[in-house]
Amino acid sequence: MGRISENLNKSRSIINEFLHIGYAKWDDLIARLENFETKNLNELEDEQLWTFLLRCGYAASGADGVQLLSELLTGEKVSRKSDRKIWFEVLPIPPRENEGNTHLDLAIGDISLRDRTCSGIELSCTENPWVCFCEMKWNADISTTVSYDVTRNQLIRVIENAICFQSRQNQYADAIYVTMVSPAIFDPGSRKSRLYQYKFEEYSCNASMILSDIQDCALCENKSFPGWKYPADLVQRISCLKLNWISFEQLFENLLPSVLKDDLSCFWNKYRKKG
């Protein structure tokens, strides 16, 4: 197995055709991988690097890789577009005035850049749009440190961003997916040790809890973006939502053939979480 950092750089032009990197920096990510590869460690515990490696693996397979990833993350056969990308570390418009941007680990679907920024995204204005926002966790739990509202958790923030996600013409997605990705040992249906396992189960079993957790927060519509509108009917938007969970293991095991697959599979088997 060659160094994965070197192989990623060699394949960069292929990867970047189907992967958009937002506020993260390619060179910084590669440097961190190089630093890891020079050390004699048993496990890579960097959640962002694992997410980056996965996205590169699927992007290296082109449109087929993007489509397969879309279906794995949503759990459904979603519409296909040959120019669809994988969006890594991007920022939708935050729905609340007092809350900063939610940094999405990954997004996929009918998504476009907004206002020529490298990380700001909006819904593409198209027929029957869909979108999937992902929260990736390795060893860490979801955050509960929201300065203006101590009752707000990271998963509900991602959900609210997804149901509010819109085009500049105020079109909302017809289908919304929010997907948790974690090591298999943190399956929400297994023995629970993480807050997101409880919240995911709670939200999946009772959509009214999603509405309750959104409305219990001090809602203050974001007016910093002219033309952006908070949804008038949250119940209708929540009805378009599907929650999904998938493991890092499943995603690495389903990589399609590409210039990176063999090296990524070897790297995964050598440095993945063994517990």
Contact 133, 107 (CB under 8 A): yes
> What pLDDT is attached to residue 118?
83
The CA distance from 58 to 146, in Å, is: 33
Where helices occur in 43-136 by DSSP H, the ranges are 47-59, 62-74
- Do residues 193 and 141 lie in contact, with contact meaning Cβ atoms separated by under 8 Å? no
How many helices (H) and strands (E) in the chain? Answer: 11, 8
Write out the chain's pLDDT in tens, 275 residues. Answer: 568 999 999 999 999 999 999 999 999 999 999 999 998 788 999 999 999 999 999 999 999 999 999 999 999 999 999 889 999 999 999 998 878 888 999 999 999 998 777 899 999 999 999 999 999 999 999 887 665 677 789 999 999 999 999 999 999 999 999 999 999 999 998 899 999 999 999 999 999 999 999 886 656 777 778 889 999 999 999 999 999 999 999 999 999 999 999 999 999 999 997 76
Cα distance between residue 173 and residue 158, in whole Å: 15
Q: Give the pLDDT confidence score for residue 275 in this predicted structure.
A: 64
Give the per-residue pLDDT at 78: 95
What phi-psi label fits residue 42: left (phi over 0), alpha (psi between -120 and 50 degrees) or beta?
Answer: alpha
Indicate the residue type of 77: K
| Continuous H helices in 38-139 | 47-59, 62-74
- Cα distance between residue 68 and residue 56, in whole Å: 13
Contact 153, 197 (CB under 8 A): no
- The total number of structural domains in the chain stands at 1
For residue 221, give the 3-state DSSP assignment: strand
Which pLDDT score is estimated for 122? 96
Domain extent at residue 253: 4-271
* Cβ contact 156:129 at 8 Å: no
